[in-house]
């Protein structure tokens, strides 16, 4: 998989999961809003506050429509409709029943919702970056306007109708719902932050993986193999446990490409990879060193074992049948093998293996040449 394809896969995967998660969260939120208004319908019907009863009936119907409509994943529009409905309902209820009813608490509780709606839609539209601040300002203005108007009008439905006990009940109900709305908003924010953090960690792990793997063969690439080589050399300097480097190059690979095409060359590289990974030791690392070159890092064995292992790979490669189309093509590979010693740096070991590879290429190919 190429880096571009991988990045596209990550974007699509993240967007799909986010859409599904937000649809569920918003649908549950809208259902809760419909439930709150249903309870208010019962309360206002019992109190014979007909205007608020009718208002809440329409609100319930509105939320039912939004619950269905949000299935189309139109998050922002649905939540903005809900935001304005709650704001207007709070204003109308306070002006009808008085400040002491506690409906103004919903206005304060809705302010974080504006920022959350922006948060989930900001990736798609940066032009709306000032929207939550404007909505928050509107809520603050509405809150103080209601307070002033309620004070000037002196409206107190409960005092006028001697329903002070009911007033306390409704205020408590509204306070609990408003606190619940704030708590739910905080939990959603926290949950989103945790999910995004986990998603970022997983993406970083996958990006590290894709950056260290050759996209054609699935072997380590040159960059990641250098890290293993550096680690092996550092361990050698501390413990004196030798490591061995074998560099192999497919014989006459350019001729294969020129004769049968690059697709055939890729298939041959894959066949070599399959054969090589099936013969190396469990603690060995293999890398595609470049083009048709491969590098094998071997540790925990002596020189004779290292030579025997590489020779086994070479023989197995020659016995492997490679068929492309209707053509049977023989695969041979030449290896240069070098060991770490006290007089060699890591670079010296790689150069020694490369020189042995070159000597093998110029003396007949299809062989393993061991450095002195």
> Which residue ranges form the domains of the chain, and what is each CATH number?
3-210 (no CATH), 222-370 (3.30.70.270)
**260 Cα distance to chain centroid:** 41
Decide if 217 contacts 4 (C-beta within 8 A): no
Name the DSSP letter for residue 214. -
| Cβ neighbours, 10 Å, residue 122 | 16
Buried b (16+ CB within 10 A) or exposed e, 287-307: bbbeebbbbbbbbebeeeebb
Distance between CA atoms of residues 252 and 58, nearest Å: 80
Report which secondary-structure segment, H or E, holds 156: none
Q: Rounded to the nearest 5°, which phi and psi values hold at 250?
A: -65, 130
Angle, CA 65 vertex, CA 63 and CA 66 arms, to 5°: 60
Summarised one tens digit per residue, pLDDT across range 165-210 is: 677 888 889 999 989 888 887 887 788 778 778 888 888 888 888 8
Q: Are 174 and 94 in contact (CB under 8 A)?
A: no
CB 246: neighbour CB atoms within 10 A? 29
Task: Tell me the pLDDT tens digit for each residue of 123-161.
Answer: 445 666 777 888 888 888 988 888 888 766 545 565 555
Strands in the chain per DSSP E? 243-250, 285-290, 293-299, 322-324, 327-329, 333-339, 368-370
The mean predicted confidence, pLDDT, of the chain is 85
Mean pLDDT of 44-57: 90
Backbone angles phi, psi at 28, to 5 degrees: -65, -40
Do 354 and 247 contact (CB within 8 A), yes or no? yes
Residues above pLDDT 70, as percent of the chain: 86
pLDDT score for 1: 47
What's the pLDDT tens digit per position in 208-232? 888 899 989 999 999 999 999 999 9
């Amino acid at each position: 998989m190429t880096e571009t394809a991988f990045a596209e896969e990550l974007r699509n995967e993240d967007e799909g999961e986010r859409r599904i998660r937000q649809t569920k969260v918003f649908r549950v939120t809208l259902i809760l809003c419909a439930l709150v208004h249903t309870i208010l319908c019962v309360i206002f019907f019992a109190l014979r506050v007909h205007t608020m009863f009718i208002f809440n009936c329409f609100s319930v119907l509105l939320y039912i429509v939004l619950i269905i409509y949000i299935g189309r994943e139109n998050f922002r529009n649905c939540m903005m409709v809900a935001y304005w409905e709650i704001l207007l309902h709070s204003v109308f209820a306070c002006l009808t029943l008085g400040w002491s009813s506690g409906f103004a608490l919903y206005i304060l509780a809705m302010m974080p919702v504006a920022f959350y709606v922006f948060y989930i839609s900001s990736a798609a539209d940066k032009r709306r970056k000032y929207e939550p601040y404007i909505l928050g300002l509107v809520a603050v203005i509405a809150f103080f306007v209601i307070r002033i108007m309620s004070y000037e009008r002196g409206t107190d439905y409960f005092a006028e109708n001697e329903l002070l006990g009911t007033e306390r009940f409704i205020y408590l109900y509204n306070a609990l719902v408003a606190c619940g709305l704030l708590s739910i908003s905080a939990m959603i924010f926290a949950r989103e932050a945790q999910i995004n953090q986990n998603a970022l960690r997983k993406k970083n792990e996958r990006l590290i993986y894709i950056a260290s793997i050759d996209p054609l063969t699935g072997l380590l690439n040159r960059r990641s193999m250098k890290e293993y080589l550096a680690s092996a050399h550092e361990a050698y300097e501390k413990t004196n446990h030798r490591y061995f480097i074998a560099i192999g190059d497919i014989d006459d690979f350019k001729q294969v490409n020129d004769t049968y095409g690059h697709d055939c060359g890729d298939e041959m590289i894959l066949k070599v990879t399959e054969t090589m990974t099936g013969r190396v030791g469990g603690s060995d690392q293999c890398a595609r060193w470049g083009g048709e070159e491969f590098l094998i890092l071997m540790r925990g064995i002596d020189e004779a074992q290292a030579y025997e292992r590489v020779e086994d790979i070479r023989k197995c490669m020659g016995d492997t049948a490679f068929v492309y189309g209707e053509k049977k093509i023989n695969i041979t590979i030449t290896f240069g093998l070098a060991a770490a010693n006290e007089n060699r740096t890591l670079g010296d070991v790689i150069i020694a293996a490369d020189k042995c590879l070159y000597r093998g290429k110029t003396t007949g190919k299809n062989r393993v040449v061991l450095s002195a």
